[in-house]
Amino acid sequence: FIGGATAVYVWIDRAGIFEVDEKKLDVIINYEHSDNSLVFDKNGKQIGEFFSDYHVYYPIQKIPKPMIDAVLSIEDRKFFEHGGIDYKGIARAAIAYLTSGQARQGASTITQQVVRNFLLTPERKISRKIKEALFAIQLERKLSKDKILEIYLNALFLGQGSYGVGAAAQRHFGKTLEELQPHEIALIAGLFQSPTRFNPHKNPKAAKKRQLIVLKAMQANKLLTAEDLEKWSSAPLVYQAPASMNQSFAPFFIDAIQEQTDKMLSGKFKGKGLRITTTLDLALQEEVNSAIQKSTDIYSSAAQNLVGVKKPSESMIEAASLVMNHRTGEILAMIGGRDFQKSQFNRALKAKRAPGSCFKPVVFSHALMNGVNWSDVTYIAPVVIQNYRPQNFQYEFMTEATYFNAFYRSINTPVVELGARLGIKKVLETAYKMGVTTELKAQAGTMLGGADMTMLDLARIYGALGNEGLKTDPYMIEKITTREGEVVFEHKKAASVRVLPPQVAYMMTAGMQAVFRYGTAARFPEFASYAAGKTGTTNDAKDNWFCGFTHDITALVWVGTDENFAFSSHVTGGSHALPIWAKIMNRIK
Give domain limits for the chain.
Answer: 2-32+55-234, 284-320+352-472+496-588
User: What span, in angstroms and rounded, lies between the C-alpha atoms of 153 and 76?
Assistant: 13
The phi and psi torsions of 95 (rounded to 5 degrees) equal -65, -40
Q: What residue type is assigned to position 532 of the chain?
A: A
Q: What residue type is assigned to position 348 of the chain?
A: A
Q: Where are the beta strands (DSSP E) in 395-448?
A: 399-402
User: What span, in angstroms and rounded, lies between the C-alpha atoms of 68 and 75?
Assistant: 10
Q: What residue type is assigned to position 272 of the chain?
A: K
- Do the domains spanning 2-32+55-234 and 284-320+352-472+496-588 agree at the CATH topology level? no
Task: Per residue of the chain (589 residues), give pLDDT as tens.
Answer: 444 544 554 455 445 445 667 888 999 999 887 788 899 999 999 998 887 678 899 999 999 999 999 999 999 999 999 999 887 766 665 666 566 555 444 568 999 999 999 998 766 677 778 888 899 999 999 999 999 999 999 999 999 888 999 999 999 999 999 999 999 999 999 999 999 999 999 999 999 999 999 999 999 999 999 999 999 999 999 998 765 545 578 999 999 999 999 888 876 777 778 999 999 999 999 999 999 999 988 887 665 555 443 444 545 889 999 999 999 999 999 999 999 988 899 999 999 999 999 999 999 999 999 999 999 998 887 777 777 776 776 656 658 899 999 999 999 889 999 999 999 999 999 999 999 999 999 999 999 999 999 999 999 999 999 999 999 999 999 999 998 899 999 999 888 999 999 999 999 999 999 999 999 999 999 999 999 999 999 988 899 999 999 999 999 999 999 988 877 667 888 899 999 999 999 988 6
Element (H, E) at 557: strand 553-561
- For residue 152, give the 3-state DSSP assignment: helix
The phi and psi torsions of 155 (rounded to 5 degrees) equal -105, -20
Question: 516 CB contacts (<8 Å, ≥6 apart)?
Answer: 522, 524, 525, 526, 527, 528, 531, 532, 533
The confidence score (pLDDT) of residue 311 equals 47
Q: What are the strands of the beta sheet with 317-325, ordered from one edge?
A: 331-335, 317-325, 553-561, 543-549, 532-537
Pick from 146, 127, 123: nearest CA to 135: 127
Between CA 363 and CA 366, with CA 364 as vertex, the angle to 5 degrees is 70
Q: Enumerate the β-bridge partners of residue 163.
A: 55, 157
Pick from 528, 530, 539, 584: nearest CA to 557: 584
Angle between helices 413-422 and 424-434 (to 10 degrees): 100
The confidence score (pLDDT) of residue 91 equals 67
CA dihedral 505, 507, 513, 519 (to 10 degrees): -120
Q: What residue type is assigned to position 240 of the chain?
A: Q
User: What span, in angstroms and rounded, lies between the C-alpha atoms of 188 and 177?
Assistant: 10
CA end-to-end distance (rounded Å), the chain = 81
The confidence score (pLDDT) of residue 312 equals 47
Q: How many residues can be counted in the chain? A: 589
The CATH number given to 2-32+55-234 is: 1.10.3810.10
The confidence score (pLDDT) of residue 19 equals 64
In words, the CATH class of domain 284-320+352-472+496-588 is: alpha beta
User: What span, in angstroms and rounded, lies between the C-alpha atoms of 320 and 322?
Assistant: 7
User: What span, in angstroms and rounded, lies between the C-alpha atoms of 511 and 513?
Assistant: 5
Residue 536 gets which letter from DSSP? E
User: What span, in angstroms and rounded, lies between the C-alpha atoms of 580 and 568?
Assistant: 19
Global pTM value: 0.77
Question: 56 CB contacts (<8 Å, ≥6 apart)?
Answer: 164, 166, 167, 169, 170, 176
